[in-house]
Structure 1
């Protein structure tokens, strides 16, 4: 019988290392692909993915199924770690057009979906999304960098993400 992701998280919370190994087997390729697109460095990506799974191991007892799926939870943990790696090297910039460039381990479907989602944004929205989600700036930092009021940044980011989600047929 194959265990669900939620079963594996519960087992991780009980200290069962095999559950962590299984989640790693299921999701490390996806997270690695995501990290390579953001970081463009194999060593940094590997380190961040390892850190993400270590953080998931430590936080397994706090996982709440009502807030997110296990995949979404892991992606969030990894994304935060990738953003921290970018903050640690402030000279690193990645043009928005390259966010979704496929890597050898990338799922081509994910890359195509990312391309489609980004294409629906105008240049201003793309810039805000880039600053907030791929360069790791807080909303307040984005406001400072762009000269926009904080409330405007939040509203425009929310609208941009909603447009992307709608374009992709998200609920």
Structure 2
């Protein structure tokens, strides 16, 4: 059973733009010490930031503390957010990830070896939202996705835009889970290569994402 990812990618482009604009507007109000905006920002962002903290600390109680400390910093430094440098989600994720690493350092890595710590951070980065992971706006993300092999694009769209697990993607695409992992990892690596500038999109190029 094949799944056409073009709809997912098109909808994602619009959704990412709207979400980023919403979060940026909230951060602007938080910078003016608007408590209601801060509450709205927390509701919109805390679940994903908790997931990030949990992947690094692997401790739910520690992750909760990390997120709370992270939001205190977000409250204090919201005025320093610059939309030209990163998306709101990327900016907040960086704060929370740094808080999680500080927690591990304060607790002598909580029994975590340096190599394992590096692996945790890498995993947290890989599991982050696609646009957040690459610090891209929706239009650029759609262009880059359109340059992937169709099956890689489908697997990535199902993983990041529909939130399917690798086993669910394997069922949807009627493929072994190992093959799905390969499609996703190779697709992400291709995106990294393009974003590094070696295959930058042409100005005015097509945003068509389906074959």
Query: TM-score, structure 1 length as denominator?
Result: 0.58
The aligned length equals: 122
**1:73 CA displacement:** 0.3
Q: 1:77-96 to 2 correspondence within 5 Å?
A: 77-90=95-108, 91-93=111-113, 94=116, 96=119
1:50 to 2:74 alignment: no
Displacement of 1:13 after TM fit?
A: 0.8
Q: Tell me if structure 2 keeps the 8 A contact 1:36–1:45.
A: yes
Q: CA, structure 1 residues 6+98, in 2 after alignment: closer, same or farther (shift >3 Å)? A: closer
The residue correspondences of 1:2-151 to structure 2 (distance < 5 A) are 4-90=22-108, 91-93=111-113, 94=116, 96=119, 100=123, 109=160
| Deviation per residue, 1:97-127 (Å, 9 max, x gap) | 89749xxxx9974786xx769967xxxxxxx
Q: Work out the CA distance in 2 between the residues paired with 1:170 and 1:21.
A: 37
1:66 partner SS: coil
Please state whether the residue corresponding to 1:73 is helix, strand or coil: helix
Gaps of at least 5 residues in structure 2 are 1-18, 130-158, 167-180, 196-211
Tell me, in whole angstroms, the C-alpha distance in 1 between the residues paired with 2:183 and 2:100: 21
Question: Match of 1:149?
Answer: none
Higher relative contact order (CA 8 A, sep 6+): 2
Alignment CA distance shift 1:72-1:87 (3 Å): same
Unaligned runs of 5+ in 1: 121-162
1:34 positional shift: 1.1
CA distance in 2, matches of 1:21, 1:119: 36
> Could you tell me how far apart the structure 2 residues matched to 1:15 and 1:97 are?
34
Q: Quick one: distance in 2 between partners of 1:55 and 1:117?
A: 38
Answer with 1 or 2: which has the greater Rg: 2
Deviation of 1:89 (Å): 2.2
